[in-house]
Structure 1
Amino acid sequence: MGSANDMKAHSSTYSSFISMLKWVIPTLALITLLVVVLISD
């Protein structure tokens, strides 16, 4: 296992990843919806 010093870096990386997902998932959903609407016309 890693040392305790690695936990700070891990927490920072995980926090950044989660906050990025909060923007990426809705953006991808909108792009997907747009493509579906354009194809269905």
Structure 2
Amino acid sequence: MADHEHGTMDITVQEQTYTGFITFVTRFCMALVVFVIFLAIFAI
């Protein structure tokens, strides 16, 4: 079994994926709020 030292693994790809996911969720929630406001204003 290989020796492993905590904190030596390269996690740049995981960090980029997490950042992209958080950005997507934030933008999606903002778009959803704008859509709901649009419906509240213009829906009959």
Gaps of 5+ in 2: 1-10
Identity of aligned residues (%): 3
User: Across the two proteins, how many residue pairs are aligned to each other?
Assistant: 34
Normalised TM-score (structure 1): 0.58
Find the structure with the greater CA-based Rg.
2
Runs of 4 or more, structure 1, over 6 Å off, are none
CA-based RMSD: 1.6
